[in-house]
Amino acid sequence: MNWSLISYPICVTGYCPYSYDSFRDTLILINLIPGEYIFRFTATDMDDLTSSDDIKIIVLGQVVGSLSLIDADTDSESNYSFYDGAILDLAYLPPRINFRANIAPSSIGSVRFNYDGTNRTENVAPYAYFGDTNGDYNAGTLSLGSHTLSAWPYTGSNATGTQGQGITYHFTVINSAARAGSTESLLMNAYPNPSSDKINISLPNFSDGEISVSIYNSQGGLITNLFEGNYQKTEMIWNVADIPDGIYLCKINTAAGTKVEKLVVKR
């Protein structure tokens, strides 16, 4: 005997947590988002005769399951990962961005956003923080530093009615390009990048001379001084096994100037 999932609600973008488990004739449901589900129970007897029956389960309520970073030029979700605790680097983000609340079910009354203490409400899809015009996303600006973005669903317009399950992301905005100097001809090889164990760093076109190589976190705090002295084309190794996941900056100082490269620790 076994259970199988036959139909389920349209998956909220970036938020498909529902799953199930079973033990003989018992069905265990896990993280079901609001909507209609149909499960099928199939049993086979000792004579290999099989019979099945369907059961409909309706989950009530509404939820903001995730927040997405939107490229306002293409009106599509950015490839840049966005999650609670994310570090957003303006040097790698699309030039025009927006935030979208991903909801379930697909139609609700409204979404109330709070961005660094400022509230605004969207009554129609796609429920974007900076708004839209018939699906054409408006663009907003991000300031450097730490930010908090929350979104809560409501059954009524203008954040009225019953409040559903919301979500909050804390994230940091940096701009690694603004920290880079004028040493554009200096090449740096860093591999593997991202890494969960160690990152090998070399400067293939740098002649012998005095340099310093330091690693900083996204807030500009010094993590370690990796090398300081007369560089002789040796390969440097940054051990990241005990370093938290995130974006880090490798800063290289030479007599000609400074260069900054992004390193990613990810497991």
Domains defined along the chain, listed by start: 2-59 (no CATH), 63-174 (2.60.40.10), 179-265 (2.60.40.3080)
- Percent of residues, the chain, with pLDDT higher than 70: 88
Per-residue pLDDT, 87: 79
pLDDT by residue (tens digit) across 157-205?
999 988 888 999 998 888 766 554 444 557 788 899 899 999 998 877 6
Taking CA atoms, 224 is separated from 63, 221, 243, in Å, by 42, 9, 11
CB-CB neighbours of 252 under 10 Å = 24
Question: H or E segment at 176?
Answer: helix 176-179
DSSP 37-105: EEEEEEEE-TT--EEEEEEEEEE---EEEEEEEEETTTTEE-SS---TT-EEETTTS-SSEEEEEEEES
Q: Side chain identity at 76, as an amino acid letter?
A: S
pLDDT at 13 over 60: no
32 dihedral zone (left: phi>0; alpha: psi -120 to 50; beta)? beta
Dist CA 158 CA 163 (whole Å): 11
The Cα–Cα gap between 247 and 234 comes to 24
Q: Which of 72, 131, 79, 73 is nearest to 101 (CA)?
A: 131
pLDDT digits (tens, 9 = 90+) for 41-59: 998 888 889 999 999 988 7
Residue among 59, 58, 70 nearest 13 (CA): 70
18 vs 23: which has the higher pLDDT = 23
Predicted TM-score of the model (pTM): 0.57
- β partners of residue 102: 66
Residue 16 has which token pair? 């498909």
Q: Is 6 left (phi over 0), alpha (psi -120 to 50) or beta?
A: alpha
* Segment among 42-46, 101-105, 157-161, 218-222 with least mean pLDDT: 218-222
Higher pLDDT, 146 or 31: 146
CA distance 198 to 202: 13
pLDDT at 133: 94
Tell me the pLDDT band of 14, cut-offs 50, 70 and 90: very low
Q: In the prediction, which pLDDT does 90 show?
A: 85
Contacts of 131 (CB under 8 A, 6+ apart): 98, 122, 137, 138
pLDDT tens column, 57-76: 887 778 898 899 999 999 99
Q: How far apart are CA 161 and CA 107, in angstroms?
A: 14
